[in-house]
Amino acid sequence: MEIIITGLNHKSSDIFHREEVSKKILTKELRGEFIFNIKRLFFEETGKQLIQESAIISTCNRAEFIFVVSGNSSGGSKNNDYVLVIKNIIIKYLFGDNLANEELQNMFYTYKNFEAILHFFKVASSLDSMIIGEPQILGQIKESYNEACEFKNTGLILNKLFHKSFYCAKRVRTETKIAAAPVSVSYAAVELAKKIFNDISNKKVLLLGTGEMGKIAAKHFIKQGVSEIFITNRTREKAVRLAEELDGYDSKTIIDFNEYYKILTVADIVLCSTGADSYIIKYEDIQPIIKMRKQRPIFLIDISVPRNIDPEINKISNVYLFDIDDIGKIIENNLDVRQQEADFAEKIINEEAEDFMNWKNSLNAVPIIVNLRNKVNGILSAELCKYINNKDENIEAIVNSITNKILHEPITKIKRAEVDFNGLNLMEAAKILFDLEINLNGMSQENKDVEKETTKVKNAGDAITGGNAPNNVNDGCYYNNKIVQLNNNKNNKAK
């Protein structure tokens, strides 16, 4: 099993390309379609369907695609190919036949296994964010996970990976001071507003759309004491709901989305975070408005990706437009305060990533263990049946019990050797000693027969992974179920 992450973020790409990508995976349906098509293209490309699990993380600063691909880690070069195959498929899907474009190739980063885990934990802990330590990203990752679960795209590895990342992010948040300093988009927006306006307390804010970031920024402006806030959204209910959220603040007005132009003549600060895929405020619309405002300056903050305000607007005098990239760059230039904390946080992330890797490596031993158990089980039941004639109902139980007793030590050692890499290749040794034939592809064929038997175990597995994590019902679930079964046994023993 390989974990592969590919994608692009605010560091690797510019806003134009991120916009392009984000348009293609804007809605849930589009994302579902995306995963389906990637799997199809992968099958067409390689002739095998090895993508077992997948998830999409899409925020305004990044679009990342996580895949779990079944395969053997010993075939390193082959797997490297899978990384490239997936990357190319995604670029092809998103940008058409622009594969030769080196710029695009560089824009998409790829990570595999340990690096991927490390990267993912960094993202979740907000170390890779535009604003280090900002809290929104974790919520966004949780949403992505829920969606992947809904699509039934997660399995054993991703379930564990996501849960571990939540845990890791929580540790980083509580054990470091990374979230303590008030540097965020909303903070930067307020500071920028202070560079334009003398007194924020007599300024009016227009909130276009009810996106998460816009909401937070609006709250920040309210805290700074702006005189009035206008809220508008295409779906009026959302605007009403947001207005209810701001119950401590009285000077708020909900306006019709078609009438926000009228407000542009009075509002001084415009926060835009809608989900629209084109410009809402256009160059030609702002020019007359500025005349009507008698050249009073207007500060526009476009937090949405794709952008909702035409960037050309910034060229009009007395209009100041900042999009998410601009703010990000400003913040980046202003951030060395958090670097120390970030170093400390990276240590935590390293620890957690290693922990996860160990767990993942221990999974490699599962086929051997399963085969070993089957073999011993088979021999025992065959031999016992020879000598015990009366068909005792407990014979299966006896066989299982003896198998467990015999194999307990070897299995523990095989698992540990796989984790510790202490030079003992016990897996190979077990293969030779017991003459086990492990054919991974063959195994998946075998799965289908075993699948029926393992439904019971699967239910138990659901209970362990939190109940809300649907298991993959595709080919790859065989090992998952086996692992869950093993874990189950272990837990029972512990009890």
Partner 1 sequence: MIFKDYYFIPIILFSLSYAVLYIKKNNPYNSFIFLIYFTFIIQSLIVIAGLNKYHFTMIIPIDLMIFFNSWILMLIVILFELLYKAKYIVIYATPIVIAALLISYFAPSMDINAILKVDSWLLIAHIVLILTGDSLFTLAFILSLIYILQERKLKLKKNLKIINDGNKNSSGKNEGRLFNFRRNFNYFNLGKGYNLELLDNMNYQCLKLGFPALTAGIVIGIYLSSALFKSVSSVKPIEIISLITWLIYAILLHERVAKGLRGNKAAMLSIAGFIMIILTVGFSLYLFPEFHGLK
**Span from 10-18, 149-157, 191-199, 487-495 in contact with partner 1 (CB under 8 A):** 191-199
Distance between CA atoms of 420 and 382, rounded to whole angstroms? 36
Nearer to partner 1, 330 or 443 (CB): 330
Q: Given the residues 60, 168, 272, 477, select the one marked as catalytic.
A: 60
How far are the Cα atoms of 164, 282, 286, 369 from residue 261, in angstroms, in the given order?
46, 11, 9, 68
60 in active site: yes
Closest listed residue to residue 214, CA positions, set 129, 136, 321:
136
Nearer to partner 1, 63 or 183 (CB): 183
Which two tokens mark 31? 């994302």
Count of other CB atoms within 10 angstroms of residue 93? 16
221 near partner 1 (CB under 8 A): no
State the minimum distance, in angstroms, from the CB of residue 132 to partner 1.
Answer: 13
Closest listed residue to residue 84, CA positions, set 66, 121, 109:
109
**Span from 7-15, 320-328, 347-355, 377-385 in contact with partner 1 (CB under 8 A):** 320-328
Q: Which of 174, 317, 389, 394 binds partner 1 (CB under 8 A)?
A: 317
Distance between CA atoms of 483 and 366, rounded to whole angstroms? 7
State the minimum distance, in angstroms, from the CB of residue 304 to partner 1.
Answer: 18
Q: Which of 1, 60, 86, 192 binds partner 1 (CB under 8 A)?
A: 192
C-beta of residue 71 within 8 angstroms of C-beta of residue 50: yes
C-beta of residue 472 within 8 angstroms of C-beta of residue 155: yes
State the minimum distance, in angstroms, from the CB of residue 199 to partner 1.
Answer: 8
Q: Which of 85, 156, 188, 286 binds partner 1 (CB under 8 A)?
A: 188
Nearer to partner 1, 106 or 295 (CB): 295
Q: Which of residues 246-305 bind partner 1 (CB under 8 A)?
A: 293-297
174 near partner 1 (CB under 8 A): no
**Span from 110-118, 255-263, 316-324, 366-374 in contact with partner 1 (CB under 8 A):** 316-324
Q: Which of 95, 109, 166, 197 binds partner 1 (CB under 8 A)?
A: 197
Nearer to partner 1, 73 or 202 (CB): 202
Q: Which of 330, 398, 429, 438 binds partner 1 (CB under 8 A)?
A: 330
Nearer to partner 1, 107 or 188 (CB): 188
Nearer to partner 1, 180 or 337 (CB): 337
337 near partner 1 (CB under 8 A): yes
C-beta of residue 67 within 8 angstroms of C-beta of residue 115: no
Distance between CA atoms of 353 and 124, rounded to whole angstroms? 12
State the minimum distance, in angstroms, from the CB of residue 146 to partner 1.
Answer: 35
State the minimum distance, in angstroms, from the CB of residue 320 to partner 1.
Answer: 6
191 near partner 1 (CB under 8 A): yes
**Span from 38-46, 114-122, 168-176, 313-321 in contact with partner 1 (CB under 8 A):** 313-321
**Span from 37-45, 109-117, 188-196, 389-397 in contact with partner 1 (CB under 8 A):** 188-196
C-beta of residue 240 within 8 angstroms of C-beta of residue 254: yes
Give the CA angle between residues 70, 73, 77 to the nearest 5°: 100
332 near partner 1 (CB under 8 A): no
> Going by C-beta distance under 8 Å and a sequence separation of 6 or more, which residues neighbour residue 236?
254, 256, 257
Q: State the virtual CA torsion across 405, 406, 408, 414 in degrees, nearest 10.
A: -170
How far are the Cα atoms of 17, 35, 173 from residue 142, in angstroms, in the given order?
25, 18, 16
183 near partner 1 (CB under 8 A): yes
- The residues of the shown chain that bind partner 1, judged by CB under 8 A, are 183, 187-188, 191-192, 194-199, 293-297, 314, 317-318, 320, 322, 326, 329-331, 333-335, 337
Active-site positions read: 60
